[in-house]
A and B are shown apart, each in its own frame.
Chain A
Amino acid sequence: MVTKALRSLPAWVGLLALTPLAALAIGALTGDDGGATRALAATRLIDMTTSSMLLVFGATLGVSCIGAGLAWLVCNYRFPGRGWFDWVLMLPLAAPSYVLAYAYLDLTQAAGPLQSALRDATGWRVGDYLFPEVVGLPGAILIFSLCLYPYVYALARSAFNGSGGQTRDAARLLGCTGAAVFWRVGLPMARPAVAAGAALAAMETLADYGAVAHLGVSTYTVGIMRAWSSAGEPIAAARLAVVLVVICLALLWIERAARGRGERFADAASSPPSLIQLSPVRAWVCSGLCLLVLTLALVVPTAYLLSISLDAGPSRGLTDAVVRTLLLAITAAVILTLVGFGIASATRSGSPMARATQQLMSAGYATPGAAAALGILMLVGAVSTLLPDTSIIVAAGPALLIAAYQCRFGSAAQGSVAAALSRHPSVLDEAARTLGCSETSLIGRVHWPLARTGLLTGALLAFVEVVKEQPATIILRPFDFDTLAVLAHGYASEERLAQAASPALAIVLVCAPAMIAVAWLTRQRSLEASANRPTPVGAVPV
């Protein structure tokens, strides 16, 4: 009885962490918004929705092309630096989109260093020449494509490595050119993986506020913040946020349905293909492409921020902020991963409640951070009347923050664990049960070892997300608890980019080792897969 209750604990925690969304929905349905939603709907909401849709379309296309293209090169061809690019290409996920937006707008705008130098050199004036400024919708599409392509890259790489190698070799023997093999064999097999990665990128793009606001794109999320901040109507913001979450869930459902059909292809799994030797020119073109993406996504923005931060020096409290950020993100990552493991394990054992929680949790990922924080505040508002004094709220501060992270990123941690578990056939569980393994020891002796790499990957991804997270951290953090993301936002909102640069760079530096570890883990996994061949299992490429 007790053990059964313990086993369902993670699912309860997962559900509990979603109550802010319920509070948001209840507020949206029952509250009074002073007519703000209607006023916005009558004026700019359609434009905002349209630009959100264009942005998501463009960014999804961008991450798919860059991510799948690079993964194809790395998995199929021999070229200089291939082994290095293989994992370094994951690194851009360490840089938050708002950091890229700060750097690129400053660098490329008419008053920025590039255009100023051009004008000085040529004597031209603004308007005499064309220059690609990273601003507006195209700029935002570029930023998100560069920031988020590693989602697609990682999943597509596992898919290309893990399955269909022999099919591709066969296609080549039958005379298919490289491009034809990609379009006719490789891509159809990796399509579910590409779609899953693109879906993650799409949700992150939809929920973003920092980068789009800075680049002057009026998206739907900007509308949510306007309803809250300019019109002073949090209820209107809640309504718009709930609609956004529903749309995201629908997108996700479509993606899952599509993946379900794709799995049949992937079942033909076997070995990674043998690497193809390219002519020197082509090989260098491959290296150049990889290097170009890496330069644009990471080298240029960090180098630029470094150059301006050298003038300003490190911002106040930077080392304290690094320590706090690490403590907070490590604590959150451990908790999120343990909860995720509990839910994934219970789902595998057939608990309907865990399965339902698992699916509901993706709603949190699609919620803009500020809306999740608003939900938590609504919840706090509902219970604060019952509290005797302030000390409880102060004491509960860190817990609320962790709850916000569980709400937003719980599904990311859980997904990695579940994916690791799903690579092993459920006959293992049945065999263990037959051998007298109890349900409880099944968790520790079968599921835990099977999920090992997934646990680490999940914890690292949760860590990176928490370090980068801005709005919920800003509003829910305890007193005197500035993290790196909070510092960066504070300076940037006061237009002191030079001072914002050092915390922004520190975010990248803190996240980079975690991303390297993720890249290394996923590579280990594909090596394992090829060492164990032929394996009839490992059906799901994620």
Chain B
Amino acid sequence: MPLTLRQFLRLAILAASVCVVSVGLVGCNDSDATSAADDPGFINLYSARHYDGDDAIYEAFEKQTGIEIRRIEASGDLLIERIRAEGSASPADVVITVDAGRLWRASEANLFAAMPKDSELLTRVPTHLRDPSGEWVGIAKRARVIVVAPDRLAADSVPTYASLADPALKGRLCVRSSSNIYNLSLLAGMIASQGEEAAETWARAIVDNMARTPQGGDTDQIRAVAAGVCDVALVNHYYWVKLASSASEADQSVAQGTQIVWPDQDGDGVHINVSGIGLASDAPNKANAERFIEFLLTSDVQTQLANSNNEFPATDAELNNPALEALGSPIESQAEIWTYGAYQAQAAAIFDRVGWQ
């Protein structure tokens, strides 16, 4: 049955309106309809965390407060750019990223408002994990660690980040691309503590020691160590813990064939980065947003949040993660993490100069 244009247009308009309405229904749920005075409302959350475990925490908040959480998940840069573009009309209330540098960048662009200073919960987070002007705060800690294959390289032969630059490791090191934020923040931290020249020398030596052109993510580097492609790798600790506590036998044997080394334990301590949260400067639901931030900092939620990705709580809340606790408690660097943001562009330039892909 050939369709005439007129018939088709009618059908198309009908179909399109059905689609648009259903998109609206699926997208916005029904909370706009309720306008009762006691409606606790909602918050708009822009998040760069994609961990399934976080869902349970959000649900607990919704249950406890009645406040609905509406989410957009994307990488930190995209979220920041979206808020910047939306300007004062942005619906964003809170922003979660998985890197302190991103938070610093958002704060520099005046996208954050100061959080309430009198909050007791905020002060539970150590000062070096917070923005000096109180615009954002860390909510979970991750460490960048060394992983070795103990049968090929003794763990005590690579006790520091600096030791990875040893020419004896030529062709034996695996590390992911320098486009990745974890490497950028690590190098930015080095620039802050040791200066640009030392950081560049180190990065150049790392490139010389690489077993292969960077490919894949942190998990791929750990697997490569286990398979014998390289003897040592530089990764975030939770990827190793996830393999060790995986249900898959293959993953477990990767963890068994490798070992975590907490670097710089006789020096500054292991490099720490955070997932962090900031309050958007023009937050339309500010009171709800502040409640959400405080909720994330309560002890139980801190434990839960850390566990959802095998991280460490940002406060002194208990850990309660046997697989992680089995690795001992490392000495952590006390570096001000906002500096990662300040030196990130310099770090990227160094990576480009030394040819770290």
Residues of A within 8 A of B (CB): 34, 36, 39-40, 43-44, 105, 109-111, 113, 115-116, 119, 125-127, 135-136, 213-216, 218, 222, 225-226, 228-234, 311, 316, 320, 323-324, 327-328, 330-331, 334-335, 338, 373-374, 377-378, 380-381, 384-385, 387-390, 392-394, 397-398, 443-445, 448-449, 452, 474-482, 486, 490-491, 493-495, 499
Contact assessment for A216 and B177 in the assembled complex, using a CB-CB cutoff below 8 Å: yes
Between A and B, 28 residue pairs with Cβ closer than 8 Å are A43-B355, A105-B215, A111-B220, A111-B227, A136-B215, A216-B213, A228-B77, A229-B77, A230-B347, A230-B351, A323-B26, A328-B23, A373-B78, A374-B81, A378-B85, A380-B85, A381-B85, A384-B89, A389-B89, A390-B86, A393-B89, A398-B23, A449-B2, A475-B74, A478-B27, A480-B28, A481-B27, A499-B52
Contact assessment for B12 and A230 in the assembled complex, using a CB-CB cutoff below 8 Å: no
Main secondary structure of the interface of B (DSSP, over half): helix
Stretch at the interface among B13-21, B123-131, B331-339: B13-21
Which residues of chain B are within 8 angstroms of A228 by Cβ–Cβ distance?
77, 81
B63-103 contacts to A, CB under 8 A, are: 70-75, 77-78, 81-82, 84-91
**How far is B84's CA from A444's CA once the two chains are assembled, in angstroms?**
45
Contacting A327 at CB < 8 Å: which of B2, B22, B70, B181? B22
**How far is B213's CA from A476's CA once the two chains are assembled, in angstroms?**
33
Which residues of chain A are within 8 angstroms of B349 by Cβ–Cβ distance?
39, 43, 231
**How far is B214's CA from A399's CA once the two chains are assembled, in angstroms?**
39
Contact assessment for B71 and A479 in the assembled complex, using a CB-CB cutoff below 8 Å: yes
**How far is B214's CA from A214's CA once the two chains are assembled, in angstroms?**
10
A392 to chain B, nearest CB (A): 7
Contacting B16 at CB < 8 Å: which of A136, A335, A387? A335
- Asked whether A331 and B16 contact (CB < 8 A) given A111-B229, A452-B2, A481-B26, the answer is yes
Contact assessment for B357 and A218 in the assembled complex, using a CB-CB cutoff below 8 Å: yes
Which residues of chain A are within 8 angstroms of B324 by Cβ–Cβ distance?
none
Contact assessment for A493 and B227 in the assembled complex, using a CB-CB cutoff below 8 Å: no
**How far is B98's CA from A226's CA once the two chains are assembled, in angstroms?**
18
Contact assessment for A127 and B228 in the assembled complex, using a CB-CB cutoff below 8 Å: yes
A123 to chain B, nearest CB (A): 12
Contact assessment for A491 and B85 in the assembled complex, using a CB-CB cutoff below 8 Å: no
Determine if B29 is an interface residue (Cβ-Cβ < 8 Å).
yes
**B21 nearest CB neighbor, chain A only:** A327
Contacting B82 at CB < 8 Å: which of A338, A377, A390? A377
B152-195 contacts to A, CB under 8 A, are: 177-179, 181, 184
Can you list, as one digit per residue, whether each of B238-282 has a CB less than 8 Å from chain A (1) or not (0)? Answer: 010000000110100010000000000000000000000000000
Contact assessment for A126 and B229 in the assembled complex, using a CB-CB cutoff below 8 Å: yes
- Other A-B contacts than A216-B357, A398-B27, A449-B4, 6 sampled, CB-CB below 8 A, are A229-B179, A230-B179, A374-B81, A384-B90, A480-B28, A493-B50
**How far is B196's CA from A519's CA once the two chains are assembled, in angstroms?**
58
Contact assessment for B20 and A230 in the assembled complex, using a CB-CB cutoff below 8 Å: no
Contact assessment for B27 and A480 in the assembled complex, using a CB-CB cutoff below 8 Å: yes
Can you list, as one digit per residue, whether each of B212-226 has a CB less than 8 Å from chain A (1) or not (0)? Answer: 011111111001101
Determine if B204 is an interface residue (Cβ-Cβ < 8 Å).
no
